[in-house]
A = this chain, B = another copy of it.
């Protein structure tokens, strides 16, 4: 018997992956959680039926959330990750020796628990002494902390379910206030083929709050359309003014110093969405 997992990325289009083994299916307090071992992409974390990450392609998303912002800020010491309970973004942040403290706030402790158990190559730095893990509402954490972080990264699920408030203008305002005077934030902002409206709306909202707003992209095979966007809002530093020759070599599989700026050069139809 062959078992296949199918994600409808839109009501009329999807991806399908042959399953080797289903490791977890559980209804947490917040969402449906599954961990599936697929033949093509290895172990896969699925929340509410949507692929969050896979062992084969996770490096793209996690590197591209973390490094562009951390190499734009000249001296990031205190970093916050909202969501991201699988620990992949934390693992990339920890590669930056100057970061003294990385705080992870995920609303769903089960994501953290099962990631540690079944996705150890992703969750491997969650117990690092420079990391503080809080099972908590990221929105509330943002509201309760002012002028505290150098960089804030929003590693959320889609804007349905528990992550919906993380795509509201009020949340970006909260992030602005939680950042120090020269802080930077970055959020995953879905794909331009099926969610152009979302990218436009986030771009408009963030531009009303942050003086510097930039959008970049990366290829993630298991995410809808294979092209994912990230929106960066910055109070002072422009990622396009970084001298790429000054970016130190770190161990990556997707991000490179040359890609730091090239990732911001968007296809015309995407550029048109955010100009």
In the complex, what residues of B have CB within 8 A of residue A12's CB? 17-18, 38-40
Q: Once the chains are docked, how many angstroms separate the CA of A253 from the CA of B266?
A: 11
Partner-contacting stretch, out of A79-87, A152-160, A256-264: A256-264
CB contact between A265 and one of B217, B259, B267, B269 (< 8 Å): that residue? B259
Partner-contacting stretch, out of A88-96, A97-105, A165-173, A221-229: A221-229
Most-contacted residue by chain B among A18, A56, A193, A219 (CB, 10 A): A219
1/0 per position for A219-260, CB-CB distance to B under 8 A?
111000111000000000000000000000000111110110
Say how many copies of this protein the assembly contains: 2
CB contact between A14 and one of B16, B258, B261, B271 (< 8 Å): that residue? B16
Does A268 lie at the interface of the complex (its beta carbon under 8 Å from any beta carbon of B)?
yes
Does A6 lie at the interface of the complex (its beta carbon under 8 Å from any beta carbon of B)?
yes
Interface contact A227-B221, CB-CB below 8 Å:
yes
Q: A255-B268, A267-B219 are in contact. Are A16 and B17 (CB under 8 A)?
A: no
In the complex, what residues of B have CB within 8 A of residue A220's CB? 226
Residue of B nearest to A59 (CB): B269
Q: Once the chains are docked, how many angstroms separate the CA of A262 from the CA of B16?
A: 31
CB contact between A254 and one of B41, B226, B258, B267 (< 8 Å): that residue? B267
Q: Once the chains are docked, how many angstroms separate the CA of A268 from the CA of B64?
A: 12
Q: DSSP majority for the A interface?
A: mixed
Q: Once the chains are docked, how many angstroms separate the CA of A258 from the CA of B266?
A: 9
Q: Once the chains are docked, how many angstroms separate the CA of A219 from the CA of B269?
A: 12
CB contact between A253 and one of B16, B221, B255, B269 (< 8 Å): that residue? B269
Interface contact A15-B13, CB-CB below 8 Å:
yes
Q: Once the chains are docked, how many angstroms separate the CA of A194 from the CA of B41?
A: 10
Does A60 lie at the interface of the complex (its beta carbon under 8 Å from any beta carbon of B)?
yes
Q: Once the chains are docked, how many angstroms separate the CA of A194 from the CA of B56?
A: 11
Expressed in whole angstroms, the minimum distance between the Cβ of A16 and any Cβ of chain B is: 5
Expressed in whole angstroms, the minimum distance between the Cβ of A22 and any Cβ of chain B is: 15
Most-contacted residue by chain B among A252, A253, A262 (CB, 10 A): A262
Residue of B nearest to A253 (CB): B269
Interface contact A40-B17, CB-CB below 8 Å:
no
Q: Once the chains are docked, how many angstroms separate the CA of A226 from the CA of B256?
A: 20
Interface contact A13-B18, CB-CB below 8 Å:
yes
Please list the residues of chain A having a beta carbon within 8 angstroms of any beta carbon in chain B.
6, 10-18, 38-41, 56-57, 60, 193-194, 217-221, 225-227, 252-256, 258-259, 261-262, 265-269, 271
The 3 closest A-B pairs by CB, nearest first: A226-B226, A262-B265, A12-B39
What are 7 A-B contacts with C-beta separation under 8 Å?
A6-B16, A13-B39, A14-B17, A219-B219, A219-B227, A253-B268, A259-B267
